[in-house]
Amino acid sequence: MEEEFDFESSEEQKKSVNRFEEMIRNEDQYFFDAGTFESIIDYYSDKNDSVKALQVIDFATSQHPYEAAFYIKKAQILSAMRHFSLAMDAIEKAETLEPSDPDVFLVKASIYASQGMLAKSEEFLNLALENADNKLEIYHQLATIYQLQGDFSKAVIFLKKTLRIKPNNPDALLEINFCFDVLELNEEALKFFSSLIDEEPYSYHCWYYLGNAYHKLGRYEEAIDAYDYAILVNDSFSSAYYNKGNALVNLDRYTEAIENYKQTFEYEPPNADTYCAIGECYEKLELMDTAREYYKKAVKLDSELPDAWFGIGVTLDFEERYFESLHFYKKALEIDDENPDYWFAIADARYKLGQIEESEKAYNKVVELNPTDVEAWLDFSSIYFEQSKIDEAIEVMSEAIKVNTDAPELYYRLVAYLFANGQYNEALNFLELALAFGPEKHHILFEYLPQLQGNQIISEIIKKYTEKDD
């Protein structure tokens, strides 16, 4: 239920403020009770007029010197202005008046946290916890301190406490979801958000985070169901449409994904990431003109989005416009030069343009950045083999196998190179290894060197492993 605006108290507050300002203009001294002073301070604080709020506090403390609340407010304002020493003086004055007031400990904790003194902040939050009746905000602040300290497991404990008190707290839900992500506790996240939904079945935030947990576990159909429930409760929840689009992409349902991405535009302004995601879907559907149109929209909104520049390159590459595609791949690389996919695309484009030496350098960079990319190693070695640099091709495959010891494709390719180089015994040894890792893939050898198909020794070795496999 929405909170109703209290016009009466607002009118009273405005009258008090006018009376206070009249006093200042007249250089007079009017009396205000403590509650009225608090209302006037809040008025200026709400307007971010810290100087005026502090001026009111000075009058308040002169008329009510034993009211700790004014020193607490003073400390909060000074801390927000980053006058930490003065803030600490004010809160210590409050502490002499109210030694066990939890607000005193909370403000002290906040002052220390603002200065990066997290252990000190934690100490005072725990003191506040001992003295407070309402522990919700303290649990949340402790969770924040633990996150800042990198102790996400402890943060989860306190976020769970806040959510027991207020199950549909969007800030706490966001933070606990983040902590589960960092800790890679997807199964635990699944159980946690499911249990919250049992208590709060109309919490679209909980359904959304449940969807995210399913998504990360690769359970895309269930993720889509959860996002649908989030949308059912709140049909203007654009994040649910966006993530539903992502789940549909993982199921190769690109047309539906596009519909969901576009749905977000009804509830928030279009952004570069969404345009880029739509572009990728059209690219997968091989509608390259439309894909390129959306990638261009993305870079118009954010020229620093490398995937959008890369996407334009991919669409041009598909149309065999390799020289143009290279330009856009380079634009992506200027923004993110550690992305192996960009280097791979550049290596391939340069190869297609006959820029063999530059292609070799780019492939070298790909396997340096992503040594587990089997396809990159195979393509890299092919360049040498096609130039009759068989020793170099063998060397590349040997390096690839050191990192990817159980990839049969690499062994079969090495076997082909060794045969081509006249190293028959070594080739047969590696053929046995290849067959041990992947007997069902032995056709790879013949695809690369068809002339080996009639070799009796090879056929017998293959037969030995494939029959055993059967």
Q: pLDDT (tens digit, 9 = 90+) per residue, 343-352?
A: 999 999 999 9
- Tell me the C-alpha distance between 242 and 245, whole Å: 5
Range with the lowest mean pLDDT among 176-185, 222-231, 385-394, 457-466?
457-466
Q: DSSP states of 65-122 as a string?
A: TT-HHHHHHHHHHHHHTT-HHHHHHHHHHHHHH-TT-HHHHHHHHHHHHHTT-HHHHH
| Separation of alpha carbons 78 and 148, rounded Å | 23
Least confident range of 55-69, 158-172, 224-238: 55-69
With respect to residue 164, please indicate whether it lies within any of the assigned structural domains: no
Average the pLDDT over 140-168 and give the result. Answer: 87
Answer positive or negative: Cα dihedral of 440, 441, 443, 449: negative
pLDDT for the residue 124: 66
pLDDT tens digits, one per residue of 424-436: 889 888 888 888 8
Domain that holds residue 284: 269-370
Residue 309: pLDDT band by 50, 70, 90 thresholds?
Answer: very high
* Residue 353 belongs to some domain of the structure: yes
* pLDDT value, residue 4: 41
Contact indicator for 411, 436 with CB cutoff of 8 Å: no
Listed as own residue / partner, the contacts of 195-199 with beta carbons closer than 8 Å and 24 or more positions apart are: 196/163, 196/167, 199/167
Q: Is residue 346 part of a domain?
A: yes
Q: How far is CA 295 from CA 148, 275, 277, 292, 337, in A?
A: 37, 6, 9, 5, 20
Q: What single letter denotes the amino acid at residue 38?
A: E
Whether 232 is in a domain gets the answer: no
Tally of structural domains, the chain: 1
The answer as to whether 289 is a domain residue is yes
Distance from C-alpha of 110 to C-alpha of 132, rounded to nearest angstrom: 16
Distance set, CA 213 to CA 181, 182, 201, 217, 285 (Å)? 9, 13, 17, 6, 28
Q: Is 73 part of a structural domain of the chain?
A: no
Q: Which two tokens stand for residue 163?
A: 């959510």
Q: What burial letters (b/e) apply to 286-311, b meaning 16+ CB within 10 Å?
A: ebbebbbbbbbbbbebeeebbbbbbb
CA distance 123 to 139: 13
Residue 7 clears pLDDT 70, i.e. is over it: no
- The tokens for 356 are 């063999």
383 touches 351 (CB < 8 A)? yes
- What would you report as the CA-atom Rg of the chain, rounded to the nearest whole angstrom? 33
> Is 362 among the domain residues?
yes
CATH code for the domain in which residue 319 is found: 1.25.40.10
Please check whether residue 395 lies inside any domain of the structure. no
pLDDT > 70 in the chain, percent: 96
